[in-house]
Amino acid sequence: MLKNNKIIVAGAGGFIGGYMVGALLRQGHNVRAVDIKPQWQWYQRFSEAENLTLDLQEKRACFQAVNGCDLVFNLAANMGGMGFIERNKGLCMLSVLINTHMLVAARECGATRFFYASSACVYAGNKQTTVDNPGLKESDAYPADPEDGYGWEKLFSERMCRHFREDFGLATRVTRFHNVYGPHGTFDGGREKAPAAICRKVIAAKLAGSHDIEIWGDGQQTRSFMYIDDCLHGVKTVMDSDIIEPINLGSEEMVSINQLVDMVEDIAGIKLKRQYNLDAPKGVRGRSSENTRIRQLLNWEPAIPLRVGMEKTYAWIYDQMKSGSSKDAVVNRY
């Protein structure tokens, strides 16, 4: 990515988008940051970027966002953890408007390369029915049976990227994220994912002197989690590569939710009594990334240990909760 290129990051007010803007600025790039949220609600905001508040579900807004940019990073979507996507399938599906209009704008405005952030939720449900999941290969997305709502939108948008590459010559790159986590993300309010939610629950118990924690499901469901630094490195590497088909971007370090709670309890130095809510949203039974392809093509894979990332995430959330800071507080980088 040449430093004289103009780069747009769509979804810049979100968790991954905020980190992406910061990383690109540190590398010397000219960045346009775009999000639908008012800028005081962005998780990270940088004065060096051109910051715009636009609704990218609208075609006109996408043209305004992309015009004059060479490279497009589309991280914009209406999403959250399992508690959000299971209860908001229609809202998640509407994100298809964002990627569709962004692709059209990229093509017509002359962008040279387009990145789309997909998700492990595209994978077939019948491949995720046991806790000892051997890891999902890229081919496991078909025959199609993705997560209802959110997963279908991601799979459809992957196909849109493919056909814009094949039919119109727009160079597209797609990665399937597996549970990205880290500081400066959502940790309450309903959109948070498991690592942040468990940190919040353990910290709340610690600060209140409580001895209980609610776990969604039976705690035996398994997942892998990727720290934000690995995510950023992987996105840039794939964007710079010749990889044209969707590729996994996730850790192979699979743990159960019970094991994740054990880890956070150990970090916090407490032990809590677990109350299992079997009626809460819990998603598939087992999901992890299978990284053979990314190792072969890039000689790299996400490798930051879960314990290392969780210690940093826990420390940041603890500071936010101890100080009473809002989950929506913006980190201004001036």
DSSP-assigned letter for residue 206: H
Residue 150: active-site member: yes
Mark out the alpha helices in 73-174 (DSSP H runs): 82-85, 89-93, 96-109, 150-168
**For residue 170, how far is the Cα from the chain centroid?**
24
- Specify the pairing of strand 222-224 against strand 254-256: antiparallel
Nearest to 303 by CA among 240, 224, 246: 224
Cβ distance 108 to 69 under 8 Å?
no
CA angle 108, 249, 177 (to 5 degrees): 70
Which phi and psi (to 5°) does residue 320 adopt? Answer: -65, -45
Q: Which of 19, 43, 150, 227 is catalytic?
A: 150
**Dihedral in degrees, nearest 10, Cα atoms 156, 161, 162, 163:** 90
Q: Which residues are catalytic?
A: 150
